[in-house]
Structure 1
Amino acid sequence: MAGLFWLQPGVNRVGCGDDCLVCLPEGPAHLGDLLWQSGLLLWQPVDGPEQSLQTDLNGAPSVVDFGDWSFFVVDREGRLAARLRDRAWAAKQPFSGLAYFDDDPQWVIEADWETLSPPLSMEVPNVSGDLKQVEVGHRAVFNVGGEPASLLPMAVSDNEVFFVFRDRTSGRETYGAGRFLKVPVPTGRKIRLDFNRAYNPPCAFTPFATCPLPPPENWLPFPITAGERKWLPK
């Protein structure tokens, strides 16, 4: 990921020129325009036919390629942004790999899946400073070493439950802004939290991500020495 550019309604100029909202590191001063109007998104290249673009709202977004670069548009609560990718990045800076704690069955926890009545409504921030309203109808309740804890899910789909959490390893052994955890949807009153599968969000690797941050309710007061460690680029 090499750039994140928030679009404005109307014409958004794309290229290397100083007047471009979507700034490219190389190429023509004016590659084309992104037109966002009346709920539609169009790509109007200087040399080529106009085409309609899909954002990532309902699946894989449309991708515009040019040389070693590409961009696509993401939808974040009705705000659109062009994400720029350097497809030749790996050749210039090989990926150093990921680090994990040793797999530990003690960090596979059967938690109580409690219903919240009424549901909890809260605002969840992301790394860009934006807030997202989240309705929470359940929570996972458990204890570690006799210390009670709970986690609120950020999303519950037909197949999985998504958590964002911090713990006492955050900023030391693991990524400072917290980690993600996805688990299967429970079929009863228990939910299986396998912290060995905790992983870093995209913002651990690039400043051009829009990751949600853990709410204060999901700041755990003990270290979780399981899952993915902090990424240290070489």
Structure 2
Amino acid sequence: MGMKTGWLGMAMLLGLLVGCGDADEKAGAAGNVVDARFLADNTAWREQRKNELVAADGWTSLVGLHWIELKSHFIGSGPASGIKLVVGPPKMGMITQQDGRIFFTPERGVDLTLNGEPLKGRVELQSDRDATPGVIGFDEGKGALSVIERGGRHALRVKYADAESRTQFVGLDYWPALESWRIEGRYIPHPPGKTLTIVDVIGVANESPNPGAVEFERDGKTFLLEALGSADGPLFFVLADRTSGHGSYPAGRFLDAEAPRDGKVVLDFNRAYNPPCAFTPYATCPLPPAENRLDLLVEAGEKAYAKPIKVL
């Protein structure tokens, strides 16, 4: 989930600085010295973050999560469907589960694809836990249907490029970007094979690889964050702090970091970002473990998403 940007050329740097946003300008006016390169790099990160969210298959396009409960379900947007989709053909086909495997048989005459190729007959759909997940395309590529597995159960995930949550996306809001929130911490490795229990919003608990923790200081106090991932790769944090529900998303935020180097890890809280659940009710986001609930006011990074107001 990490997003990396390289150093920008001076010509691009000037252009990015123009669009840094009122909040960052106010931070400078308040006497906080912000390095131009840091500010430009952070602006580019924010732009990439937004582009990923509003991509045709980004999280803002997610419109459905349907659990596969029976041995077989007819699926489609029509009234006769056992699993009724909010988009797509009235009759799309039949989903079957057998011995933990999921199969799909398309309705005759419906124009569908599987991973970009024409879909004509019965196929097995690999889930998001497999090496090559199967994605069924419909409505000339606007729609995408796939299988996810959570706690031994399977569900259909539906994305649609014309979803209101995508077409009416109102943008992201951030606290001012400050270098003081880019903190170098001490990496504390755990014994090989250690895991941490992570519970998601649908109540499923998973044992996630927990290679170590990062100890850091802020406002004269010491804090600890447990990392997910692997010690020789990027680290991932699910955290909450005193802004959760008071400026930032109530269920917590995510943070990415580079692999430890010389026993150090840089935590850039300016790049703390909302989980997919902040934008759609159909995601299955992990929740912060008790170890990562900080008694700290992290006024940095992404604020709670202000969803558009529907006019009746």
TM-score (norm 2): 0.68
Alignment-derived partner of residue 45 in structure 1: 106
Alignment-derived partner of residue 64 in structure 1: 136
Preserved CA contact (<8 Å) 2:177 2:301: yes
Alignment-derived partner of residue 22 in structure 1: 83
Cα deviation, residue 76, structure 1 = 2.8
In the superposition, relative to structure 1, how do residues 167 and 26 fare at CA in structure 2: closer, same or farther (>3 Å)? closer
Letter in 2 for 1:222: L
Preserved CA contact (<8 Å) 2:211 2:228: no
Which of 189, 197, 205 is equivalent to 1:115? Answer: 189
1:184 is the counterpart of 2:258: yes
Cα deviation, residue 43, structure 1 = 1.4
1:35 is the counterpart of 2:107: no
Superimposed CA distance per residue, residues 11-34 of structure 1 (whole angstroms, 9 cap, x where no aligned partner): 232124566443212566542112
CA distance in 1, matches of 2:71, 2:241: 43
Bigger Cα displacement from structure 2, 156-165 vs 19-28: 19-28
CA distance in 1, matches of 2:199, 2:99: 28
Q: Is the radius of gyration larger for structure 1 or structure 2? A: 2
CA distance in 1, matches of 2:269, 2:131: 27
What SS is found at the alignment partner of 1:2? strand
Cα deviation, residue 72, structure 1 = 1.0
Cα deviation, residue 133, structure 1 = 1.8
Which of 117, 124, 127 is equivalent to 2:201? Answer: 127
Alignment-derived partner of residue 94 in structure 1: 168
CA distance in 1, matches of 2:270, 2:225: 16
Letter in 2 for 1:83: R
In the superposition, relative to structure 1, how do residues 226 and 27 fare at CA in structure 2: closer, same or farther (>3 Å)? closer
Cα deviation, residue 6, structure 1 = 1.8
In structure 2, list runs of 5 or more residues that go unmatched: 1-61, 109-119
Which of 209, 212, 218 is equivalent to 1:138? Answer: 212
Cα deviation, residue 220, structure 1 = 0.7
Alignment-derived partner of residue 7 in structure 2: none
What SS is found at the alignment partner of 1:106? helix
Alignment-derived partner of residue 3 in structure 1: 64
Cα deviation, residue 36, structure 1 = 2.4
Q: Which has the higher strand share?
A: 1
Provide the identity percentage: 35
Cα deviation, residue 152, structure 1 = 0.5
Superimposed CA distance per residue, residues 92-144 of structure 1 (whole angstroms, 9 cap, x where no aligned partner): 84211111122110011111111235875442211111111234231111121
In the superposition, relative to structure 1, how do residues 27 and 85 fare at CA in structure 2: closer, same or farther (>3 Å)? closer
Preserved CA contact (<8 Å) 1:72 1:84: yes
Letter in 2 for 1:110: E
What SS is found at the alignment partner of 2:302? coil
What SS is found at the alignment partner of 1:226? coil
